[in-house]
Amino acid sequence: MTLDPTAFEQYRRSANKATLLRLFFGVLIILACWFGLTFGVIIGAERFSTQAGLPYADFLTTLPGILASLLSFAGIWLGVWIAVRLLHRERLGALFGYSRRISWPGFWKGLAAVLATSLLSEVLLYALQPDVTRSSLDLSSWLLLLIPAGLLIFLQTSSEEILFRGYLLRGLAHRFRSPLVWALLPGLAFVSLHWSPGTSMMVNAAGLASIGLFTVVLTLLVYKTGNLGAAMGAHLGNNLVAFLLVSHQSAFSSLALFNGKPFEADGWTSADMVLVTGIGLVASLLTTLLLLHPRSPLKVSADSAPLSPVPETAEASPVQP
C-alpha cells in the first residue's frame, strides 16, 4: 500500500507567509484565544456551581460542566481564524484542504471507519475488563442530548484538527521537507495535551501510546488526501464513542450511556495496560486499512483542484513519507 504525495504537496505548497516567526506568533494568538475563552467558561462555571451548591471540581464532572468544557474549544477556532487572517493573509478555508473546502465524502468515510473500529475496541476492552455499568442518564435524556452533545464534540475534535493537522502541520511542511518536523512536532504537541496528572505513569504511558498511534493515522489521512475532512471525521468518531457511548474516564461519565472501569482507577496491572495498547494498535491498523487500502469501500480520495490556481514554488518535488 503506497501513498501518492501529490495531494499533500499541493496542500503544503498552498501555504502563504508560513515563516517560523509568523507560525510562532500565530500559536500565541491561538493559545490566547483558547485560554481566554476557557477562563471565561471557568468563571461562568464557578458561579453556576456556587448557585448549585457544588464544589467546582465536582461541577465539571456533571453534564452542564462537561458541555461547558467542550464549548471552550471554540477559542481554538477563533484563534486560528485570527492568525490566518492577520498573519498569513489567507481565508480560513485554506486550512481545510487544497480545494479550500472540507471534503465531506472523506469526512463521512473517516467517521464510519472509526465508529466501526471504536466499537470493536470497546468489545475487546469489555473482554479484558467486563466491569461496565449503566450510567445514571436515562435513555430518553441521552437521546435528546445526542445532537447538541455531538455538535459540541465536533467543535472540540474539529478545533484540534484545524490546529494540529491544519495550521501547524501545513505551515511546518511548507518550511521543512522532513516528516520528523512537520508530522512529529504537531503530533507530539497533540499527544502531550492528553497527559493526565492524576493518573499513574503506567496508565498514562498506555493511553499516550494509543493516542500516538491514532495521531499517526490522522496524519496519514491528511498526507493521502491533502484535506482535513477524513481526519475530522475519524477524530469525531473516536470521541463520540468515548464520550457518549462508553466512558472510561470519570470526568465524562455523566455524558455517556455506559461507564467502563475508569483508567484512572486502581486495579489495572502492567499486563492490562500492554493489552490496552495492543487494542489501540489493532484499532489504528484496521482504521488505516479501511481508509487507505485501495480495495476498501471506505477508501478516501485525494482532494480536488482548488477554486483558484495556487502558484508554483521551487519546492515542487514530492515529500517522502
Among 142, 179, 164, 193, residue whose Cα is nearest residue 79: 164
**Cell numbers found for residue 31:** 493559545
**Cell numbers found for residue 4:** 501518492
Q: Is residue 299 part of a domain?
A: no
Q: Is residue 321 part of a domain?
A: no
In this structure, are residues 71 and 143 in contact, taking their beta carbons and an 8 Å threshold? no
pTM of the model: 0.90
Check pLDDT > 90 for residue 264.
no
Q: Is residue 1 part of a domain?
A: no
Tell me how far apart the alpha carbons of residues 169 and 148 are, in angstroms, rounded to a whole number.
Answer: 30
Q: Is residue 306 part of a domain?
A: no
Determine the 3-state secondary structure of 259 from DSSP.
strand
pLDDT category at 58 given cuts 50, 70, 90 is low
pLDDT category at 42 given cuts 50, 70, 90 is confident
pLDDT category at 172 given cuts 50, 70, 90 is very high
pLDDT category at 312 given cuts 50, 70, 90 is very low
Is the torsion defined by CA of 107, 113, 117, 120 positive or negative? positive
Between 253 and 225, where is the model more confident?
225
Give residue-wise pLDDT tens across range 64-98: 778 888 999 999 999 999 999 999 999 999 999 99
Q: Is residue 188 part of a domain?
A: yes
Q: Is residue 320 part of a domain?
A: no
Q: Transcribe 179-234 into DSSP letters.
A: HHHHTHHHHHHHHHTT--TTS-HHHHHHHHHHHHHHHHHHHHHHHHHSBSHHHHHH
Q: Is residue 56 part of a domain?
A: yes
Between 138 and 54, where is the model more confident?
138
Give residue-wise pLDDT tens across range 232-244: 999 999 999 999 9
Tell me how far apart the alpha carbons of residues 16 and 87 are, in angstroms, rounded to a whole number.
Answer: 9
pLDDT at position 319: 40
CA 7 to chain centre: 21
pLDDT at position 196: 83
Mean pLDDT of 130-141: 90
Of 35-49, 99-113, 279-293, the least confident: 35-49
Q: Is residue 305 part of a domain?
A: no
Check pLDDT > 50 for residue 133.
yes
Which residues make beta-bridge pairs with 259? 133, 247
Range of the domain at 112: 6-292
**Structural domains in the chain (count):** 1
pLDDT category at 311 given cuts 50, 70, 90 is very low
Tell me how far apart the alpha carbons of residues 278 and 59 are, in angstroms, rounded to a whole number.
Answer: 34
Among 127, 111, 135, 120, residue whose Cα is nearest residue 247: 135
Determine the 3-state secondary structure of 227 from DSSP.
strand
Among 256, 291, 9, 271, residue whose Cα is nearest residue 145: 256
